[in-house]
Amino acid sequence: MLFLMFILADKDLEVKEIKKGTGEILSDVRINKKTGEWKEQPWKPYKSMNTVLDGIYDTALVIDPTCISPSAKFSLHGCASYLLFKRDKKKGAKKLDTADFCKHRLCPICNWRKSLKMFAQMQIVSKALMEKFPTARFLFLTLTVRNCSGDELKDTLDAMNAGLKLMFNPGKTNKSGKPVKAMLLGYAKATEVNYNPEEFITEEMFKKNKAYYKKSGLAVGDPNPSFDTYHPHFHILVMVKGEYFRGINYLSQAKWTDIWQNCMKLDYKPMVNIQVVKPNEKDLTSGATGLDMTDGTAKEKAMTAAISETFKYPMKPNSLKLDMFHDLDLNEQERIVQAVIIYSHALRRRRLVTFGGEILKMRKILKQDDVEDGDLIDVGDEPTIESEFDFILFKYFKQMGCYVC
């Protein structure tokens, strides 16, 4: 009720201007720009997982009182509990107008909103950069290290960030990244950390990494060698000069691997994947080629795919099994609680999304809001309210598991 009073005061509204409670359940439907199909927005499932996370922190605080501050816990508990929408009176389309978001690193609903925002912003940035630097090219780079334990996660992330700094800005003592810096125009980096909660190899796991498991002589049902470990990695959209593909300027995947290994000072070959952002052949007009990037529509499709892959959720909700937490046995629940504590300390005060070079400059020119701590109301996928509108307020009811007017 206090939240409603703030809304009314801030917008100079009277109660009669907000649609009277009808018991209507929130159905926020948007069109999928990729497929053209209509799809309901996942407010309910993400808020449901938010409440599960809130409950996990209740237990975690008993074990480790420093895992989350009182103010952060309060914000997490109330995150998106009330949603005020503007509603087009003719079309019925709803546009989010007011909500309180906690912006906690693990909050599923905030991570969803951040992902939408990052995607929308980078689409605008990449389009502007392609117009300003028509010969520039983009690469999709994934950098990994071996899985680590929870105790090692914070130090591993620190080491990875230091290694990446050497790759993009080589120092006097370690010049491994010099070939990269010579061709680098800019970058957008997202940090992702996946937790492995499965004690045994599942069919889904085997299907995703069939080659690895077969090479290791492992099958479905065998003990998972990565059980209870963390997989930190970087997804990076790299902007390079056009001459990157000419002669000695070109860096093969083997070369990228060597550079990353040297910058990280590893005694093993890390997994590195590098892909050129180029149009799919079926999207190209007659006569255009994959390296050409002259077909505007196909070029934008390729960039959209790369941006989407780069700015996925920094911490996938299913990594902590928030959607099925209450169905887990006691041992599994205890491991998830411990994982939340580890994530909380390892990710605290750590930026998970960073930009550099021309990409950072363009963001400043476009005056884009901060992707992690900025506004999560307008995230770029909001419908346009073209006619007269009214306001409709929804409240989340935990017992019902849904938003009700």
| pLDDT, position 195 | 94
What's the pTM? 0.86
- Does position 20 have pLDDT exceeding 60, yes or no? no
Read off the pLDDT band of 317 (50, 70, 90).
low
| pLDDT, position 315 | 52
| pLDDT, position 136 | 92
Beta-ladder partners of 30? 39
Residue 64 has phi, psi (to 5 degrees) of -140, 95
| pLDDT, position 13 | 46
| pLDDT, position 215 | 86
| pLDDT, position 336 | 96
Higher pLDDT, 237 or 313: 237
Higher pLDDT, 233 or 21: 233
Mean pLDDT of 143-170: 95
Read off the pLDDT band of 41 (50, 70, 90).
confident
Nearest Cα residue to 361 out of 120, 182, 111, 133: 133
Share of the chain above pLDDT 70, in %: 83
Read off the pLDDT band of 8 (50, 70, 90).
very low
Convert the pLDDT of each residue in 158-186 to its tens digit: 999 999 999 998 877 778 889 999 999 99
| pLDDT, position 312 | 63
Read off the pLDDT band of 295 (50, 70, 90).
very low
- Does position 309 have pLDDT exceeding 70, yes or no? no
| pLDDT, position 25 | 85
- The answer to whether the CB of 259 falls within 8 A of the CB of 251 is yes
Read off the pLDDT band of 298 (50, 70, 90).
low
| pLDDT, position 176 | 83
| pLDDT, position 34 | 58
Read off the pLDDT band of 261 (50, 70, 90).
very high
| pLDDT, position 23 | 78
Convert the pLDDT of each residue in 343-396 to its tens digit: 999 999 999 999 999 999 999 999 999 988 889 998 876 777 777 888 889 999
- Does position 3 have pLDDT exceeding 90, yes or no? no
Share of the chain above pLDDT 90, in %: 58
